[in-house]
Amino acid sequence: MAQQRHAVPPPLKTEEDYIPYPSVHEVLGREGPFPLILLPQFGGYWIEGTNHQLSGAPESPPTPAPSTRARLEGNHTAKIYRKHFLGKEHFNYYSLDPALGHLVFSLKYDEQEHLHLLLRTRARTLHDVVPISCLAEFPNVVQMAKLVCEDVNVDRFYPVLYPKASRLILAFDEHVLSNHFKFGVIYQKLGQTSEEELFGTTEESPAFTEFLDVLGQRVQLRDFKGFRGGLDVTHGQTGSESIYCHFRDKEIMFHVSTKLPYTEGDAQQLQRKRHIGNDIVAIVFQDENTPFVPDMIASNFLHAFVVVQLEQGGSQGTLYKVSVTARDDVPFFGPPLPDPAVFRKGPEFQEFLLTKLINAEYACYKAEKFAKLEERTRAALLETLHEELQARSQAMLGLGPDEERPDNGAAAPGFFESFKSLLVPGSRRGRRGSAIGLGSVEEVGTPGTDTPPHPGAPPRPGPLNGDPQALLVPGKSPSRRRPGPLGSRRSSAIGIESIQEAPAGRDGPAAAPEGACSAHSSPESRRHPDRAEKPEPPDFSRSSSSASSFGSAAEEPGEPGRESRSPSGTHRDAFTDTPWPDDPPGSPPGRRPPDPPCPEIKIQLERPPHNPGS
């Protein structure tokens, strides 16, 4: 055991000590007939169809029977969702497994009491049908997923709530399906054994032209509307015509080496190789008996070749010998070649050959190089599908990608939404407080119209007269009027200013809410001093008169007895941060008692000890 653990692997064989297959030049130096295909000297390919000797009656070469139609291979798991789930009642779920990655799970319960389970992982899609009678109890979603794959290790699956989720899931499942194929066609003449010779052929023999008619129909590339397979159909830079075929609802375009542009002086003929070298499967047609070696053409994409050689059948018509070769990591693909692998020209041979080509491409996708590329592509697409289903499902619940649902089921407003609600005019959240020192504005006036500033003046534009900007004061946010028998007094949150509502009634017109500053006299009194209103005798039943007298005395010390009024005739406070002398003890500074709306309600106040306006 210790010797086996520390055994050194044998060194790799080199060209000198491991040459199992002869070179093509050695084979051509011998007598014929030669095989259709020679393996490379270091191997790496497998061959199907090595017997082409007709035994018995030569007039009856074996061909596939018309009744046995060749089966097209493909990814049949990708068609399950469309066949069994789409358009039927089913449920979709998503989850994230620490080992398997993103998971998308579909289940359906049919009338025969069977569970159809379809689990998608980043590596593959798993499908199973489980009878309910085989289960002791009806399983939950996690248990159903473990019935398909025992490696599932998640606590829960999340339901997909997006109504159009089936379209997204179907697009993911069928991304591996394609109805368009492109194959290369290489014409090999007698004695051609290199890539330069194969791509340098410009003429077509009658036998090669006849074989092209078996593959499909000739089409003009200019303005061609079908599948073009990467050929130019506008400017003619890839030739004027090609071979096209429509087979079993699939479109096939052939890249024929002799029909692609030939460039003088270019030994590699890159204009031809860039199309055929990027194909996965190619046909090699041989006029005469010259072996083909798969490594003649250097390409990272070409993985399989179908070699067809003309066989003169005499009175039987045209016969074709067929051999197939592919790289070692490409699995075998059908339909199998008959023994001997000889076909008579006809529709049966065309169907067999096209089926073989399509199945060869599907088999090449399972090779190591293409399998890794497909796995990376599938993992990226599955992650995108998972994120899309999660985002759409949360959107149906009114949740964002990083939000959590509150207890009441409604989406909680963010900080900026709450902050904007304090500043946006006309909000329904009530009066917007001046929490940042912007002040507040009150709605004043009688219902239905704004009160004019003085008798005989036209109504001032306002919100009741169709002017929505009437209540907007720069630096202040509007607020609603609060109903109450005594009106309301409002002040900013930091006590900068106060604007009082003046109810309209018998005492005089209401105050306008625009532009009146409490520390300045009215423009009307400044222009016409003789029109200024005389101070009324103090009335102990009206607190606003005594308050106005005190304010006017402080504002205009040289004119005792004159009050400061706004253009609308409303009393304004001269000092808002000083307590009123007639306020009761304990009242906050900057406030005064409100005006009574009717004479039945009176407030008895003490007269201030010193009133300059009296």
Distance, in Å, from the CA atom of 87 to the CA atom of 257, rounded to the nearest integer, reads 46
Q: What percent of the chain has pLDDT over 70?
A: 59
Which of 255, 252, 244 lies closest to 219 in space, CA to CA?
Answer: 244
**pLDDT tens across 22-75, in order?**
788 888 778 778 889 988 887 889 999 888 887 654 455 555 544 456 788 888
**Candidate ranges 153-167, 260-274, 532-546, 569-583; pick with highest mean pLDDT:** 153-167
Residue 270, pLDDT score: 86
Residues of 78-110 as b/e, b for ≥16 C-beta within 10 angstroms?
bebbeebbeeeebebbbbebeebebbbbbbbee
pLDDT greater than 50 at residue 280: yes
Q: What integer pLDDT is reported at residue 168 of this predicted model?
A: 96
Span 389-419, pLDDT tens digits:
999 999 998 886 555 444 433 444 444 444 4
The span from the CA of 571 to the CA of 272, in Å, is 97
Q: Where are the alpha helices (DSSP H) in 30-88?
A: 80
Is pLDDT at 537 greater than 90 in this prediction? no
> For residue 482, what pLDDT is reported?
45
- The answer, yes or no, to whether residue 310 has pLDDT greater than 50, is yes
Is pLDDT at 542 greater than 80 in this prediction?
Answer: no
Other Cβ atoms less than 10 A from the Cβ of 366: the count is: 14
Q: Specify the pLDDT at position 251.
A: 95
Q: Is the pLDDT of residue 375 over 70?
A: yes
Looking at the predicted structure, is the pLDDT value of residue 289 above 60? yes
Q: Which two tokens stand for residue 521?
A: 């006299």
What pLDDT does residue 564 have?
Answer: 43
Weakest mean pLDDT among 8-17, 385-394, 591-600: 8-17
Q: Would strands 180-188 and 250-256 be described as parallel, antiparallel, or unpaired?
A: parallel
Backbone angles phi, psi at 304, to 5 degrees: -145, 145
Mean per-residue pLDDT, 476-487:
45
The pLDDT score that the predictor gives to residue 43 is: 82
Is 0.95 surpassed by the pTM of this model?
Answer: no
User: b/e for 317-353, b at 16 or more Cβ within 10 A?
Assistant: ebbbbbbbbbbeebeebebebbebbbbbbeebbbbbb
Q: Give residue 603's pLDDT band: very low, low, confident or very high (50, 70, 90).
A: low
CA atoms within 13 A on the CB side of 546: 22
Pick the more confident residue, 588 or 354.
354
pLDDT value at residue 605 = 63
Query: Which two structure tokens, joined as six digits, stand for 393?
Result: 């499902």
The percent of residues in the chain predicted with pLDDT above 90, rounded, is 40
> For 99-103, 276-280, 482-486, which range has the lowest pLDDT when averaged over its residues?
482-486
What is the pLDDT at residue 303? 94
- Partners of residue 312 on adjacent β-strands: 318
Q: How confident is the model at residue 577 (pLDDT cuts 50, 70, 90)?
A: very low
Tell me what pLDDT residue 313 has.
Answer: 66
Is it the case that residue 475 has pLDDT exceeding 70? no
Please return the burial class of 608, using the count of CB atoms within 10 Å of its CB with bins 0-12, 13-18 and 19+.
middle
Range name among 45-54, 384-393, 505-514 with the lowest pLDDT average: 505-514
User: Quick one: pLDDT at residue 365?
Assistant: 92
For 189-287, strand residue ranges (E) read 217-220, 241-247, 250-256, 281-286
Please give the residue that has the higher pLDDT: either 222 or 451.
222
Per-residue pLDDT for 175 more than 50? Answer: yes
Token pair for residue 232? 């130019």
**Alpha helices of 174-280 — where are they, by DSSP H?**
195-199, 206-215, 270-276
Nearest partner of 199 among 276, 143, 281, 88, judged by Cα:
276
Number of H helices, E strands in the chain: 13, 18
Q: Report the 10 Å Cβ neighbour count for 42.
A: 14
Q: Which residues is 128 bridged to in the sheet?
A: 117
The pLDDT assigned to 438 comes to 42
Strand intervals (E) in 483-554? 489-491, 498-500
Q: What is the mean pLDDT of the chain?
A: 73
pLDDT mean over 116-127: 94
pLDDT value, residue 51? 87
Report the pLDDT value the prediction gives residue 608, as an integer from 0 to 100.
62
Written as one letter, the residue type at 597 is P
The burial of 508, by beta-carbon neighbours within 10 Å (0-12 exposed, 13-18 middle, 19 or more buried), is given as: middle
Whether the pLDDT of residue 147 is over 80: the answer is yes
- The whole-number pLDDT of residue 332 equals 93
pLDDT of residue 468 exceeding 60, the answer is no
pLDDT surpassing 50 at residue 121: yes
Question: Under a CB-based contact definition with an 8 Å cutoff, are residues 287 and 189 in contact?
Answer: yes
> Which pLDDT score is estimated for 287?
87
Q: How confident is the model at residue 519 (pLDDT cuts 50, 70, 90)?
A: very low
The pLDDT of residue 483 is above 60? no
